[in-house]
């Protein structure tokens, strides 16, 4: 480890670290900041100046102050910049602007096929980001970063999709590079389930350090938060559980080329196919959800069985990862308690007591908001990280010269 890296561990090089103290929005005096950090007063002054010139912090009028003394406390200005968040699904697109604490300021969503390709879909995103900025009376200069979720595997370090099965034209496409040519901001790209996990945690489980988010829709995937951190694994494919073989899948062909994959028997299309084999008129997972809502027994049984198949894989997840919360999201989770019941039946009967003693298996609470909120948090996490702010401060000071 170089001294430069160690420095960022120590957290004492730049303005970015000082800013971490202020991210909760609570105002603090310079004296408090000096006492807490042990930094020299002169250092504190320089760093606060850098953050102030970026517009990220500012003085707060002191209620207890009497007379004409200047305000003495400094706080984060959550609305000083905005982040762009985008949830680009298989057949929908959702774009939003959020403040620096993740609060949504403006949002637009419509049906859009990801298969139209990256230039059309990202072009749509940029166009609507501009419209939302205009609505808020803001411009591209107010943007500090973008977070984007895509419905397929993404190499997180480069932001490029990797062999995404339902995204023709997107394989290895340089998403950050393309966006950056239109909007000169840092762009972070991840798969949809990872950002849903981030959103679910921010929305409902901020104190939970071990959260497993499962998405059941056209595909099946998961986002894993362990030790409070989203785990992407060595190649960014952690949580990619749709192609794990399950016992009931023997011989059933999956679109991945293997047979017996979880996705081939428990995804929305797979459940619909099983009902069609019973002579029922169902085309999609949404049709299945609709049948379940109407109390159709065949559909209820098929969904519960899919829950059991998913439970078979989740049993292994529970042994391996030992989460305290498993949240089920995605369109098939709208089939309600039936999917959940199948999952619970298997996980609780097959797991070791220590791992399930305090385990909650629940429906996603963030639900439809999980992805867009997670995309905001992804952008904020990196945009407000110490190194990013240090770079921003350095760029601002060199352009001011």
Smallest gap from residue 346 Cβ to a copy of itself (A): 10
**β-strand 220-226 against 229-230: which pairing, if any?**
antiparallel
Coil, strand or helix: which one is 105? strand
**Per-residue mark of binding to a copy of itself, 129-168 (x: CB under 8 A):** ------------------------x--------xx-----
Coil, strand or helix: which one is 191? strand
User: How long a stretch of residues is the chain?
Assistant: 401
- Measure the CA angle with vertex 322, ends 318 and 326; round to 5°: 65
**167 CB-near residues (< 8 Å, 6+ apart):** 114, 115, 150, 151, 152, 161
Smallest gap from residue 315 Cβ to a copy of itself (A): 7
- The structure tokens listed for 212 are 């497993």
Question: Sign (positive/negative) of CA torsion 351, 355, 360, 363?
Answer: negative
Query: Of 323, 329, 330, 342, which one interacts with a copy of itself (CB under 8 A)?
Result: 323
CA distance 262 to 247: 9
Closest to 220 (Cα-Cα) out of 257, 252, 256, 248: 256
Does residue 78 bind a copy of itself (CB under 8 A)?
no
Segment interacting with a copy of itself, rule: CB under 8 A, options 121-129, 230-238, 287-295, 332-340 = 230-238
Segment interacting with a copy of itself, rule: CB under 8 A, options 89-97, 232-240, 263-271, 336-344 = 232-240
Does residue 354 bind a copy of itself (CB under 8 A)?
yes
Smallest gap from residue 139 Cβ to a copy of itself (A): 33
Does residue 224 bind a copy of itself (CB under 8 A)?
yes
- Closest to a copy of itself by CB, 132 or 317: 317
**β-strand 57-60 against 211-216: which pairing, if any?**
unpaired
- The structure tokens listed for 312 are 């078979």
CA distance 114 to 171: 12
Does residue 255 bind a copy of itself (CB under 8 A)?
no
Does residue 201 bind a copy of itself (CB under 8 A)?
no
Does residue 17 bind a copy of itself (CB under 8 A)?
yes
Does residue 91 bind a copy of itself (CB under 8 A)?
no
Smallest gap from residue 152 Cβ to a copy of itself (A): 11
Segment interacting with a copy of itself, rule: CB under 8 A, options 131-139, 263-271, 287-295, 322-330 = 322-330
User: At which residue do the structure tokens 């697109």 appear?
Assistant: 93
Does residue 232 bind a copy of itself (CB under 8 A)?
yes
Query: Of 167, 214, 355, 389, which one interacts with a copy of itself (CB under 8 A)?
Result: 355
Coil, strand or helix: which one is 136? coil
CB atoms within 10 A of CB 258: 14
Query: Of 67, 70, 358, 399, which one interacts with a copy of itself (CB under 8 A)?
Result: 358
- Closest to a copy of itself by CB, 34 or 120: 34
Smallest gap from residue 232 Cβ to a copy of itself (A): 7
CA distance 92 to 89: 5
Does residue 295 bind a copy of itself (CB under 8 A)?
no
Query: Of 77, 201, 215, 243, which one interacts with a copy of itself (CB under 8 A)?
Result: 243
Does residue 25 bind a copy of itself (CB under 8 A)?
no
DSSP for 192-254?
A: HHHHHHHHHHHHH-TT-SSEEEEEESSSEEEEEEETTEE---SSS-TT--TT-B-GGGTT-B-
* H/E run at residue 256: none
Query: Of 104, 142, 174, 240, which one interacts with a copy of itself (CB under 8 A)?
Result: 240
Query: Of 233, 278, 283, 396, which one interacts with a copy of itself (CB under 8 A)?
Result: 233
- Contacts with a copy of itself by CB under 8 A lie at 1, 3, 6-7, 9-13, 17-18, 20-21, 24, 32, 36-40, 43, 153, 162-163, 209-210, 222, 224, 226-227, 229, 231-241, 243-245, 247, 256, 258, 312-313, 315-317, 319-324, 350, 352-355, 357-359
């Amino acid at each position: 480890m170089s001294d430069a890296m160690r420095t960022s561990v120590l957290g004492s090089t730049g303005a970015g670290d000082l800013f971490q103290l202020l991210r909760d929005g609570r105002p603090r005096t310079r004296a408090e900041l000096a006492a807490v950090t042990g930094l020299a007063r002169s250092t504190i002054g320089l760093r606060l100046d850098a953050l102030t010139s970026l517009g990220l912090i500012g003085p707060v009028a002191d209620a207890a102050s009497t007379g004409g003394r200047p305000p003495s406390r400094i706080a984060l200005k959550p609305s000083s910049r905005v982040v762009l968040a985008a949830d680009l699904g298989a057949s929908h697109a959702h774009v939003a602007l959020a403040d620096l604490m993740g609060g949504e300021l403006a949002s637009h969503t419509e049906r859009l096929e990801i298969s139209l390709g990256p230039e059309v879909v990202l072009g749509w995103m940029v166009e609507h980001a501009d419209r939302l900025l205009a609505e808020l009376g803001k411009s591209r200069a107010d943007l500090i970063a973008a977070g984007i979720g895509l419905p397929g595997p993404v190499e997180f370090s480069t932001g490029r999709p990797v062999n995404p099965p339902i995204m023709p034209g997107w394989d290895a496409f340089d998403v950050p590079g393309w966006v950056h040519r239109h909007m000169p901001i840092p762009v972070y790209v991840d798969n949809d389930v990872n950002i849903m996990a981030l959103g679910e945690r921010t929305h409902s489980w901020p104190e939970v350090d071990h959260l497993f988010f499962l998405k059941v829709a056209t595909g099946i995937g998961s986002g894993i938060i362990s030790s409070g951190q989203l785990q992407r694994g060595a190649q960014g494919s952690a949580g990619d559980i749709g192609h794990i073989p399950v016992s009931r899948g023997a011989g059933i062909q999956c679109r991945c080329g293997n047979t017996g994959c979880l996705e081939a028997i428990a995804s929305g299309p797979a459940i619909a196919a099983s009902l069609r084999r019973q002579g029922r008129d169902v085309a999609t997972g949404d049709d299945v959800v609709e049948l379940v809502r109407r109390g159709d027994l065949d559909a209820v049984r098929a969904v519960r069985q899919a829950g059991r198949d998913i439970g078979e894989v989740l049993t292994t997840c529970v042994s391996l990862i030992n989460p305290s919360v498993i949240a089920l999201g995605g369109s098939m989770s709208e089939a309600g308690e039936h999917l959940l019941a199948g999952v619970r039946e298997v996980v609780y009967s097959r797991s070791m007591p220590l791992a399930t003693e305090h385990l909650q298996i629940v429906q996603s609470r963030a639900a439809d908001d999980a992805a867009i909120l997670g995309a905001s948090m992804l952008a904020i996490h990196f945009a407000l990280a110490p190194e990013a702010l240090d770079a921003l401060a350095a760029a601002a000071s060199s352009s001011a010269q």
